[in-house]
Amino acid sequence: MQNEEWLTSAGIDIGTSTTKCVFSRLKIERQSGLSSLPQFHITERNVFYESRMHRTPLIGDSQIDLGQLERILASEYSNAGLLPDDIHTGAVIITGETAFKQQADVVLHSLAASAGEFVVAQAGGDLEAVLAGRGSGAEARSLHVKGQVVNVDIGGGTANAAFFEGGSCIRTLNFHIGGRLIMLERDGSITRISPSVLQWLKAAGFKMLQEGEVAEIGRLRQLAERWSEMLLEGIQETVDWSKYPLIYGNPDSRKVRAETEIAEIWISGGVGALMEQESPPNLAEAARFGDIGPLLASALRIAGIRYPVKLQAAPEAQRATVIGAGVHTAMLSGSTVFADRMLLPLRNLPLVRVTWHDQLGEELTAIELGVKEAFAEGKQKYGGAGTEACKFAVIVPHLSVCTYPMIRRIAEAAAASALHYQLEMAVIICENDIAKALGNCIHLITGGNLPCVCLDQVAARHGDYVDIGEPVGEGYIPLAVKTLVFHS
Amino acid sequence: MPFRDEDRMQELKQATPARIGTGRAGTRPTTRELLKLRYDHAAAVDSVYGSVSTDLLAELGLFMVDSGAVDQELYLRRPDLGRLLPDHSIQQLIQRCIPSPQVQLVVSDGLSAGAIEHNAGDLIPALLDSLQVQGLKAGTPFFVRNGRVGIMNTIGDILHPETIVLLIGERPGLITSHSMSAYLCYRPCAGMTDSDRMVISNIHQGGTPPVEAGAHIGSLIARMLKQKKSGVGLVQ
């Protein structure tokens, strides 16, 4: 291939209140010298089209109107001058409340024909938080700041916080806090309260807020203040989580204790975008979007004034998540890989990481044992029920020295495990640059009877999920690593 | 002025094997750094004057022939002789090698026997796997003592392979003395120059990984055979 190529990437964010899309071009460049193994990297990510904000089309309370959604996207594609086939990679993410996310597969299926094939279908709270933080610019900002930059993306249904340090996310936290959890008319009558906060409202002394009742602006202001306090206290890691029933998300991520302090807090999402505006003077103004978003934004801005840490709206507040999804999800694997093309694309593969047995060091027996245990764990956890195939990918962690006998042993262990568990394929992601050699080895050991994909130089963790796209040209395979799925 | 940001310095040091941020004692290097430099220099010299063990050659199934430079002093003084094969070597090749193979593998110590000792054992089996996966056939591999890159042409005129791979020890440096290069050429013969060849260099455990280099070379050879060319003309 040429030393430079451009891919077109689409991002679609379907949120509780708004739907938007962006199109961007990703520049793929060969960054290795002619006497090295080829290495392609994404060196530029340029957004060239941003849609306007559409109200998410709904049937009833929370059912996405697929026909209307397709029409919205079709008009945006045509405005951007794109056909679905022009899209090489991209992500649709459905954010917000649980009921919403459960429609992810249906939405993806319905969009495949009219919008293109996408790598990411559903995002978990973790991934949403990270994507928003990338799209808002908080991740990049953390490279230039001593301490952590926290991006809190507050949309209609949820608030997702991602903590960045030195350019990478160290933990995430999710809250059932959002502008559209309570919906009201301009006269203050409450039309809907989301089930995710019903109980909390009662317990926290907001009994008066009920569907059908007319709310006072003072009471709503108190609620917004209470939520912004909870957010700002909640992101401090010293708090007792049990006192914060509105916090949810990946429990492992909560255990992370950083050594550094929080330096800056950025607010993105629809609520972030409203923070720059004046506080609403009356109920009619406060309810101008039919929800309490403006009140929440105003409460946060006021809380930020006395808060000891710099708190501000993110520069790309409203489109942070969609920019994160459309521009920052695609990664490339190492460029010397092995892939049986007919297996690709692969979606939603859970990752199982090999654990090396320390007492055995990096000896061949330790390697064999570690690989076999990972396959056993994969089979046990993701065995597949009935006709559903057992699909997972194994991560082979870094080896300080990687010799041919080691690769041979990894291949033998993988082939033996795949045969033993009657797997339809072996998908292996190596941290060392060894994927092509390993794939060749597995192919020869199994006589080509075990379809196999071996990729390398991808940073991924145990429990993450990965989408592997079809190879573009001959050189590289786009993929997306998704952090832990949504925990309701 | 000393560099005060210790974390940043560590990042920079991790990004390169070069000797940076080593400190000083007065106007001179520290004793530790000076000793390390002399140690690395000695290792480089050892690599040039070392030889590849017969055990390794046996393990890799390679027989040995001499280049035109019969001893090491002559080899260092006369690069031209390292590109030639004396009559007795030519006879050996004709007797022992399959003529006109699809892929001819040749290994040579070049300027670093240590490079072959450390890397050939990992690269060669990965290369053979890669050739097998692509359905390509290798000829009879052998080892040339005191060879130079240009010997590919000489071998080409004797065995007439479609493609040739030469694994050769690189001139040792102070970072590593065990770095190997792989030179590839389509239909090597007298008159071929560097622009007709491809090279994968810096092959060692801290650089281009030997096993992955082997796997990649197999694909490059397949591409050379398909396009019937090598060097700058090959579309990669």
* Interface predicted TM-score (ipTM) of this complex, two decimals: 0.90
Q: Which residues from chain A sit within 8 angstroms of residue B56, using beta carbons?
A: none
**Which chain A residues contact residue B236 at CB under 8 A?**
1, 38
Judge whether B170 is annotated as a binding position: yes
3 state SS of A120? strand
Mutate which of B122, B129, B235 to test chain A, going by most A C-beta atoms within 10 A?
B129
Instruction: Indicate whether A435 and A380 sit together in one domain.
Output: yes
Beta bridge partners of B208: B203
Q: Do residue A202 and residue A241 come from a single domain?
A: yes
Residue of A35, A402, A404 lying closest to B199 (CB–CB): A35
The token pair that represents A103 in the structure block: 């429609």
Query: Which residues does A488 contact at the CB level (< 8 Å), separation at least 6?
Result: A98, A248
Which of B126, B201, B218 comes nearest A404 by C-beta?
Answer: B126
Q: Which of A5, A36, A402, A438 to mutate to test the interface with B (most CBs of B within 10 A)?
A: A36
pLDDT at residue B225 greater than cutoff 60: yes
Q: Is residue A272 part of a domain?
A: yes
Mean pLDDT of chain B: 93
CB contact under 8 A, A407 and B216: no
Contacts of B134 in chain A (CB under 8 A): none
- Domain match, A251 and A348 both: no
A230 vs B166, more confident: B166
Q: Considering only CB atoms, which chain B residues are within 8 Å of A38?
A: 216, 236
Contact check, Cβ <8 Å, A437/B208:
no
| Domain C-terminal end among A122, A148, A166 | A122
Across-strand partners of B183?
B166, B199
Q: How high is the pLDDT of residue A112?
A: 67
Q: Which two tokens stand for residue A248?
A: 């949810």
A325 has which bridge partners? none
Q: Of the residues A122, A139, A157, which one is the last residue of a structural domain?
A: A122
Interchain proximity B209–A433, CB inside 8 Å: yes
List the single residue in A with minimal CA-CA distance to B214.
A437
Interface check B205 vs A, CB under 8 A: yes
Q: Is B216 on the interface with A (CB under 8 A)?
A: yes
Q: Tell me the C-alpha distance between A474 and A40, whole Å.
A: 11
Q: Are residues A70 and A164 in the same domain?
A: no
Q: What is the pLDDT of residue B213?
A: 97
Residues of B in contact with A434 (CB under 8 A): 209, 211-212
Total length of chain A: 488
Distances (CA, A) of A161 to A77, A327, A428: 31, 19, 31
Chain B CB contacts of A432 below 8 Å: 209
CB pairs under 8 A between A and B: 74
Contact B149, B198 (CB under 8 A): no
Q: How far is A441 from chain B (nearest CA, A)?
A: 7
Same domain, A207 and A77: no
- Same domain, residue pair A201 and A258: yes
Instruction: Tell whether B201 is within 8 A of chain A (Cβ).
Output: yes
Query: Residue A38: its pLDDT value, please?
Result: 84
Q: What angle do CA A264, A274, A186 make, to 5 degrees?
A: 145
CB-CB under 8 Å, B201 with A440: no
What type of residue sits at position B192? Answer: M
- Do A161 and A172 contact (CB within 8 A), yes or no? yes
Residue among A460, A461, A478 at smallest CA distance from A469: A478
Q: Do A403 and B213 touch (CB under 8 A)?
A: no
Please indicate, yes or no, whether residues A195 and A240 belong to a single structural domain of this protein.
Answer: yes
Determine which of B59, B123, B176, B212 to mutate to test the interface with A (most A C-beta atoms within 10 Å). Answer: B212
A239 and A292 in a single domain? The answer is yes
Domain match, A203 and A261 both = yes
Query: Cβ separation of B209 and A434 shorter than 8 Å?
Result: yes
Task: Tell me the pLDDT tens digit for each residue of A285-325.
Answer: 899 999 999 999 999 999 988 888 899 999 888 889 888 88
Nearest Cβ partner of A404 from B121, B181, B198?
B121
Six token digits for residue A254: 């909560």
A350 part of a folded domain: yes
Residue with tokens 């960045």: A164
Q: Which residue type, as a one-letter code, is found at position B207?
A: G
Does the distance separating the beta carbons of B218 and A35 come in below 8 Å? Answer: no
Query: Which domain does A57 fall in, by range?
Result: 4-122
Subunit contact B129:A444, Cβ cutoff 8 A: yes
Task: Report yes or no: A187 and A156 within 8 Å, Cβ to Cβ.
Answer: no
Tokens of A108: 């993806």
With contacts defined as CB-CB under 8 Å, which chain B residues touch A364? none
pLDDT tens per residue across span A124-176: 677 888 889 999 999 999 999 989 999 999 988 889 999 998 888 888 888 99
B211 touching A (Cβ < 8 Å): yes
Ligand-binding annotation for B103, yes or no, is no
Shortest distance, CA B223 to any CA of chain A (angstroms): 12
Q: Which two tokens stand for residue B129?
A: 């796997």
**What domain count does chain A have?**
3
Q: Is residue A487, in this structure, part of any structural domain at all? A: no
In angstroms, what CA-CA distances link B120 with A247, A291, B56?
56, 69, 9
Q: Mind telling me how many Å the CA of B94 is from chain A's nearest CA?
A: 31
Chain A touched by B213 (CB under 8 Å): yes
Nearest-CA distance B123 → chain A (Å) = 7
Candidate from A36, A404, A443 with C-beta closest to B211: A404
CA distance B113 to chain A (A): 19
Q: Are residues A135 and A225 in the same domain?
A: yes
Write the CA distances from A299 to A60, A142, A158, A179, integer angstroms: 30, 26, 16, 12
Q: B212 and A436: CB-CB below 8 Å?
A: yes
Query: Is B126 within 8 Å of A437 when comparing Cβ atoms?
Result: yes
In a domain? residue A352: yes
Strand-pair category, B103-108 with B163-169: parallel
From the list B121, B208, B215, the residue facing A437 with the nearest CB is B215
What the block records as the tokens of A358 is 């320390």
Residues of chain A found within 8 Å of residue B202, distances taken between Cβ atoms: 35-36
Do A76 and A95 lie in a common domain?
A: yes
Contact B208 A407 (CB under 8 A): no
* CATH of the domain spanning B49-233: 3.40.50.11240
> Do A336 and B199 lie within an 8 Å CB cutoff?
no
Mark whether A275 and A314 lie in a shared domain: yes
Predicted confidence pLDDT, tens digits, chain A (488 residues):
567 888 888 888 888 788 999 999 988 888 888 888 888 888 888 899 999 999 989 888 778 898 999 999 999 999 999 988 888 777 888 876 666 667 777 787 777 666 766 655 556 677 888 889 999 999 999 999 989 999 999 988 889 999 998 888 888 888 999 999 999 999 989 999 988 888 889 888 888 888 888 888 999 999 999 999 989 988 886 666 666 778 776 655 556 666 788 999 999 999 999 998 888 988 888 999 999 999 999 999 999 888 888 999 998 888 898 888 888 878 888 888 999 888 888 877 889 999 887 766 668 889 999 999 999 999 888 876 555 567 899 999 988 889 999 999 999 999 999 999 999 999 999 999 999 999 999 999 999 999 999 999 887 777 778 888 888 766 678 888 876 433 32
**Residue where a domain stops, chosen among A293, A324, A355:** A324
Residue B86, token pair as written in the block: 């004396």
Please give the structure tokens belonging to residue A17: 């209140």
Q: For residue A438, give both structure tokens.
A: 């390993």
B118 to chain A, minimum CA–CA distance in Å? 10
